[in-house]
Amino acid sequence: MKTSVAIYPGSFDPVTNGHLDLIERGEKMFDLVIVAVLQNVDKQPLFTVPERVEMLREVTKQWPAVEVDVFKGLLVDYARKRGAGVILRGIRAVSDYEYELQMALMNRKLEPRLETVFMLPGEPYSYLSAKLVREIAQLGGPLTDLVPAVVEQKLRAKIA
């Protein structure tokens, strides 16, 4: 049963099959999943925000209840603006949980009506991160089953 609007925030640099696993499952749970790309001036991303948005739109187009957007600033402010009641976050390991717990509690402090839903990735993606994907790509390693084909093509072109 679907309820509400959920925001799945992140840098998505690049989008991985682990991200898509959570998006697909979230789309089944919520009326709308907004995949929100964070504009973070402190990070040095491999892909520009428009490139990440383009890739995300391409690989999520099969899900009608998924929208891709960009935000900057506080996530709670963006959630209020979009009328979202849920923040969707993936947790791969205990280290993720510790960080995500702090963020969820702070978001609750700033906006008590905003709930955080933690989802575990599917088993094939429990080790997967965008950082690891970038490193493997930069070293010329295989990306099969880690990212969609279109993302692999863009990664290979970017690091060539």
CB 18 within 8 A of CB 148: no
Q: What is the CB neighbour count within 10 angstroms for residue 123?
A: 8
Cα separation of 109 and 129, whole Å?
28
Residue 68's H or E segment, with its range, is strand 66-71
Mean pLDDT within 100-110? 96
Quick: pLDDT tens for 9-18: 999 999 999 9
- pTM value is 0.94
Where residue 130 sits, what CATH number does that domain have?
Answer: 3.40.50.620
**Residue 24 domain boundaries:** 5-159
In this prediction, residue 40 carries a pLDDT of: 79
In this prediction, residue 120 carries a pLDDT of: 93
Mean pLDDT within 101-109? 96
Quick: pLDDT tens for 29-88: 999 999 999 997 777 899 999 999 999 999 999 999 999 999 999 999 999 999 999 999
What is the number of structural domains in the chain?
A: 1
**Strands laid side by side in the 5-10 sheet:** 66-71, 32-38, 5-10, 86-90, 115-119
- Written as six digits, the tokens of 63 are 């899900």
In the predicted structure, residue 1 carries a pLDDT above the cut 70: no
